[in-house]
A = this chain, B = another copy of it.
Amino acid sequence: MAEPADTAAVDELIVRIGAGAPATPDGQTGKRAAIVRAATGLFLRHGYQGTSTDQIAAAASVSKQTVYNQFRDKETLFREIVVGVTATAERFALSLPEALAGVRTPEELEPALRALAHQYLSAVLNPQVLALRRLIIGETNRFPELAAEYYRRAPGRVLAALADVFDRLRDRGLVTGGPADAADDYAYLVLGRALDHGMFHLDDTPADTGAARRIADRAVTVFLGTYRA
């Protein structure tokens, strides 16, 4: 039952949640961050109900009391983790607008869309991101507002950012059609199948191989068949 050393992978997802911590800049915050880190990994692997506070304390090398000093209860810890981790998706969404900012001519459009599609694919198919999606989806009945908030801040934000991108491309006369529609079609042409598949499979990462590039290329071709100006 030893937790494998994917701490690094978990770290990728973890944001500075300890920001709102009490006194000592590194005293309590260090413990708090350790708890968040450990709990994130456990929740992603075993789910909310499948993770005990004893496991969390042990994985964080901390006493159970310390866990309850930092977080009112298990649910509070869970919510804080989900909200915090969601920030990763928000950062990705914010990075989107500049992705196609330099595209001025029709010749530049297609390669840029392909590159973006590939980047999008590997971001969403990241095993940790998929695990987070599985976790939240599985708890949608128990935490409906949390699930809705995640959708708003992750997929929703990305779709809005994409719509913004296509809006600007339309201003430059490079694409046609409604920006929101374009964003939806682009997004799910790119990752619809891979995402659907990824939700039900733990290991498979078609993003690794050239499969991801093929998927991205075809998606852009189909997309431009309708939306190219």
* Interface residues of A, Cβ cutoff 8 Å to B: 45-47, 49-50, 131, 133-142, 144, 147-148, 150-151, 155, 159, 181, 184-185, 187-189, 192-193, 195-197, 199-202, 218-219, 221-223, 225-226
Contact = CB atoms under 8 A, between A and B. Distances in A.
Total copies of the chain: 2
A154 B141 CA distance: 22
Contacts of A188: 188-189, 192-193, 196
A142 B193 contact: no
Contacts of A219: 185
Given A185-B189, A187-B192, A201-B151, A134 B142 contact: no
Contacts of A151: 196-197, 200-201
A50 B49 contact: yes
A151 B204 CA distance: 13
A221 to B, nearest CB: 7
Nearest to A227: B222
Given A150-B200, A188-B189, 16 more contacts: A45-B141, A49-B49, A133-B137, A137-B199, A140-B200, A141-B202, A148-B200, A155-B200, A184-B192, A187-B192, A188-B192, A189-B192, A192-B192, A222-B225, A222-B226, A225-B226
A200 B49 contact: no
A-B pairs, top 8 by smallest CB distance, nearest first, are: A138-B138, A188-B192, A151-B200, A225-B226, A192-B192, A49-B49, A147-B200, A225-B225
Nearest to A156: B197
A138 B136 CA distance: 8
A141 B134 contact: yes
A200 B46 contact: no
Contacts of A225: 222, 225-226
Contact of A187 (B138, B181, B193): B193
B46 A47 contact: no
Nearest to A228: B225
A86 to B, nearest CB: 12
Contacts of A134: 137-138, 140-141
